[in-house]
Chain A
């Protein structure tokens, strides 16, 4: 056995190798905080870190949708998450009208919207075999148009139910509540992907569609379900979004779409499918938020943020390109 082979079988080395992208994302975050501390004072503090996590949480939530559809391979991507969330927020605002007893209606509406969008995306991509990018982009445009028509006639009235506001906007002590949602969501997602029949079938489909098909797995249904889950999730994220903002407005979710995809890439999840570690996606989201904070603190503002995102994405894609080639 040569040295390289022996290293590959060494458990410690295997551990580092398996999670090396998590380490990279983690180190990048630390690097940014240190850079911020040096260039702008008072950047590195626990409070600042918690604030960053809170701001990053919605990128991480939408990133979950992206991760799930990407895991199934075939160029999986969901561009419609932003407007699905917006649609739910806009429609449920007046229904909830600031009262908790109306929350269940809002949840029902969220479920219906999410299911409709997800099933449509899933059928068109998995069964009609249209490219996910085009399908979900078109879906996004349709939803945007619908929202614009709905909001053109009348102002959006209504407020989220207090429960949603507590979940999304408030804190327990210094810990933002949405942090707990992420903490609960992470193991749930990991179990869904690594311990269920569907999750393993999704990874297999993403790794090698032909082999999965020949093994008797219904790859179309597996992929379709990933889009349905993404649709329902993004619709419920819409409820949290209105809870966080306190009001609904017509472009409230659209700014998260690109960062959510970026977070998945930064988190080291392969865009070719076949894997998905949600902790990586959360780290990716925190990294992007830290980068935004830093650029804002340095006076670069919104323009600098997008420039920074773009550059980081390019660099990471180049770094990870070997993994893509080696497939």
Chain B
């Protein structure tokens, strides 16, 4: 029996279309997987169903009734529970307090702690036997926290359970016991929506899958009927393999080494990463979202004081523990989250563009304003940043122009290596073309080297000379020459090949 059916769902964020025509349905007692590349809309549709976002258009029928939830609580009361990717637990409460938080018995003034503890224990015993429900959440490891998060969702006894990347923090054994439990829930008639980047897991646990690409669902497979063929799934995810239009000749390997890193470690994000960037090369970093690509670029830019790694830049040893070190050796970062890491939103275009100069040594105490303004004007001109004056707060600019300002910060610096973290994210097509045009130009004319992380595989396939694939903080593959195409990049990212 169909529990929920969503048809023609549309959702835009700002000017970016996240979902253009999303359709989804799930059935009682079945586990339905959602698959798709980064930004394909699979997470968005889950969140719309759970009431986190509201759809711009389209309708959702739940138990043959048209529904429109304004917030996750309404959905939860109706029996739709979602487990979030980023944890929503309160660290200073115990496990059982977190599980019943928000759903406490409201009958009396005081909480019925005994009943709450019993309920929590019952759920936890099935999910992760041996976990003490009296423990504080901050004492748990990430996997245990994820389990508590799931337990919290289950405590509301949902009819539809949405699991968004529930396994990313779990260890193998924990995944196994989670799957057993999810299966037993399904057997009790709960409909389950399961999203994961790990193709193997999806094939193991799901009964059927729906595949998203570019904001719409492009295919669905019933595993029993259609069989479990990973290559076929990948071809759905990537679409018809278009011949990649190479706008520039791919460089063959070789040349002088510009930046060399060996055995870079950072917490659980980066494990023994080594790379060797050649002069004039555009080196792509691919992989599923959140496999350590951002951390790699930040580490190379010197953002982590605790990173104990010495890089060789142009034959010189440089410690990567302060941004100033990397900048002095002309290794410059264009960070991925421009609002949090790149821009001073309420300051002017001028202040933003000249800001990195303030960190340089041997600069005059008083800023040479006339000179700086001239440089700033040049940057605005060359990058075609659309702003009415240099004194406009960056906040008032469009996303694409804001991104150009982030790139423009390094305009007057002599660049050796440019680290680009998803530079075209949330940027319109015109600005995207301007940005990549500028970068390719810099590579060709000035011989700079680039490390490019892009969540959009198309960008990697189009511009890179070599692509490294990251998975769980490690570099697991290096693609060169004809292997650099969307199909191979995605298949390798999902570890199919």
Contacts and interface: CB of A to CB of B under 8 A. Distances in A.
Interface of A: 8-9, 14, 191, 195-198, 200-201, 203-204, 207-208, 210-218, 274-275, 327
A215 B359 contact: yes
A197 B301 contact: no
B111 interface: no
Contacts of A195: 366-367, 369
A207 B344 contact: yes
Contacts of A198: 358, 365
Interface of B: 298, 301, 303, 323-324, 327-328, 333, 335, 340-347, 351, 354-356, 358-360, 363-367, 369, 388, 392, 396, 409
Contacts of B345: 207-208, 327
24 contacts: A9-B396, A14-B392, A196-B365, A197-B358, A197-B363, A197-B365, A200-B351, A200-B367, A201-B358, A204-B358, A208-B344, A211-B341, A212-B344, A212-B355, A213-B323, A214-B301, A214-B342, A215-B358, A215-B359, A216-B356, A216-B360, A217-B355, A217-B358, A274-B346
A14 B345 CA distance: 16
B408 to A, nearest CB: 12
Contacts of A211: 335, 340-344, 355
Q: With a 10 A CB-CB cut-off, give which of B301, B324, B347 has the most chain A CB atoms.
A: B347
Contact of B396 (A8, A204, A218): A8
A217 B351 CA distance: 13
Contact of A207 (B303, B324, B346): B346
Nearest to A275: B346
B355 A214 contact: no
B323 A215 contact: yes
Contacts of A274: 344, 346-347
Nearest to A213: B323
Contacts of B343: 208, 211
B301, B303, B323, B360 interface centre (most CB from chain A within 10 Å)? B323
B2 to A, nearest CB: 42
A157 B327 CA distance: 57
Contacts of A218: 324, 359
B359 A201 contact: yes
B347 A217 contact: no
Contacts of A275: 346
Contacts of A200: 351, 354-355, 358, 367
Nearest to A270: B346
A215 B355 contact: yes
Contacts of B359: 201, 215-218
Contacts of A212: 344, 355
Give the 10 A-B residue pairs with the shortest CB-CB distance, closest first: A216-B359, A217-B359, A207-B344, A216-B327, A215-B356, A201-B358, A216-B324, A9-B388, A216-B323, A197-B358
Nearest to A14: B392
B346 A210 contact: no
Given A197-B367, A200-B367, A275-B346, 12 more contacts: A9-B388, A9-B396, A197-B364, A200-B355, A203-B351, A204-B344, A204-B351, A211-B340, A214-B301, A216-B328, A216-B356, A274-B347
